[in-house]
Structure 1
Amino acid sequence: MAPLLSANRLIIMQITNNAVVQFHYTLSDASGELESSRKAAPLLYLHGHNQMLPKLEAALEGKTAGDTFEITLAPVDAYGERRDDAIQSVQVKHLQGAKKWKPGMVAWVNTDQGERQVTIVKVGMFKADVDTNHPLAGKTLTFALEVLNVREATAEEIAHGHAHGEGGHQH
């Protein structure tokens, strides 16, 4: 989206609540790059609606299209510390994401708090032991971000609580 012109002044939109933000990111830890949106479409989110890590969203506040920056988050500000007591037994029929399971695979399980990502530790005929820690728990993470676009959210996006369009939620 082109910047707005007002009385011959260029107005650049900053990231604030109810702004739709499109960005690329590269995520790294001490061992190197873990993932990057540059291999696919950029991400799109509605700022101020708890759709990402709070410290990451706070770092994006006030940025504009074209801004690039890095932020490093300690485990407590990212996906939490690893908990050794986070192994649970679940019925295999509740695991989503594959037909056959092996240790180390990532699955999704529906819980009372919504979908949760788990890692298979041990699998039997009917039950599996799963690690409920997030796969990135316990890691210090560095996000390299490039803000591509910032625009005002539509009334529908605000009502739905998420951005619409490529990289956002599709209806």
Structure 2
Amino acid sequence: MAAISENTVVTITYDLSVTDENQQKVLVESAEADAPMVFIFGLSGLPEEFERQLDGKNAGDSFSFSLTPEQAYGEYDQQAVVEIPKEVFLIDGKLDEEMLQPGNFLPMADNEGNHMQAKVVSIGDTNVQMDFNHPLAGMVMHFDGKVESVRPATAEELDHGHVHGEGGHHH
């Protein structure tokens, strides 16, 4: 039986809670058996400490650990909340009012073409305030879950950098 290590395909189920301002744990995400998280260990893009906590575990093993902001997505950065001119959001000269709602996440690109997600904070007369922080920035994250399966990644998966087949990418 394969243990979680570099270049293995890992399938996990989990509950993710964060600590709110009242120091209470609040459930923010669940990956259940019918829609588990599947990734290639070492190529996932997940926080390094997240992978380190799973390293060496086998199918059937449970896990429970917490990540500080420093170990995960960093502290909340007020500098990442920026004003963008409203005309940037025009499509064929019109503003998509449904898309441009506070709380919505929109795909954005910077001047170098790097893609990222940003959250609409507020809409003014001439500008839109956007938050480019990761949604979990500044939060202590608590994971409780189970390793469902572990298998070696195929050469094709390693070449493409993502999982194929069930729970992964289909070409």
Which TM bucket (shorter chain)? 0.7 to 0.9
Q: 1:70: which partner in 2?
A: 64
Q: 1:141: which partner in 2?
A: 141
SS in 2 for 1:107: strand
Matched-pair contact (CA < 8 Å) for 1:106–1:119: yes
Q: 1:18: which partner in 2?
A: 7
In structure 2, stretches of 5+ residues that fail to align are 20-24, 92-96
Note closer, same or farther for the CA distance 1:84–1:143 as it changes in structure 2 (3 Å cut). same
> 1:170 Cα deviation (Å)?
2.2
Q: 1:52: which partner in 2?
A: 46
Matched-pair contact (CA < 8 Å) for 1:92–1:126: no
How big is each residue's C-alpha offset from its partner over 1:89-118, in whole Å with a ceiling of 9 and x where there is no partner?
332249xxx843122222221334733121
More off after superposition, 114-123 vs 124-133: 124-133
Note closer, same or farther for the CA distance 1:18–1:93 as it changes in structure 2 (3 Å cut). farther
Note closer, same or farther for the CA distance 1:113–1:38 as it changes in structure 2 (3 Å cut). farther
More off after superposition, 42-51 vs 108-117: 108-117
Matched-pair contact (CA < 8 Å) for 1:41–1:166: no
Q: What is the letter of the counterpart of residue 29 of structure 1?
A: V
In structure 1, stretches of 5+ residues that fail to align are 1-11
How big is each residue's C-alpha offset from its partner over 1:112-151, in whole Å with a ceiling of 9 and x where there is no partner?
4733121112224774220111111111010112111111
Q: 1:28: which partner in 2?
A: 17
Q: 2:55: which partner in 1?
A: 61
What are the equivalent positions in structure 2 for 1:88-107 lying under 5 Å apart? 88-90=82-84, 91-93=88-90, 99-107=98-106
Matched-pair contact (CA < 8 Å) for 1:45–1:51: no
Matched-pair contact (CA < 8 Å) for 2:108–2:115: yes
1:122 & 1:53 partners in 2: Cα distance?
A: 29
Note closer, same or farther for the CA distance 1:76–1:25 as it changes in structure 2 (3 Å cut). same
2:14 & 2:66 partners in 1: Cα distance?
A: 13
SS in 1 for 2:49: helix
TM-score (norm 2): 0.82
Q: 2:77: which partner in 1?
A: 83
Q: 2:153: which partner in 1?
A: 153
Q: What is the letter of the counterpart of residue 92 of structure 1?
A: F
Matched-pair contact (CA < 8 Å) for 2:54–2:63: no
2:67 & 2:168 partners in 1: Cα distance?
A: 24
SS in 1 for 2:103: coil
Count residues with an aligned counterpart: 158
TM-score (norm 1): 0.82
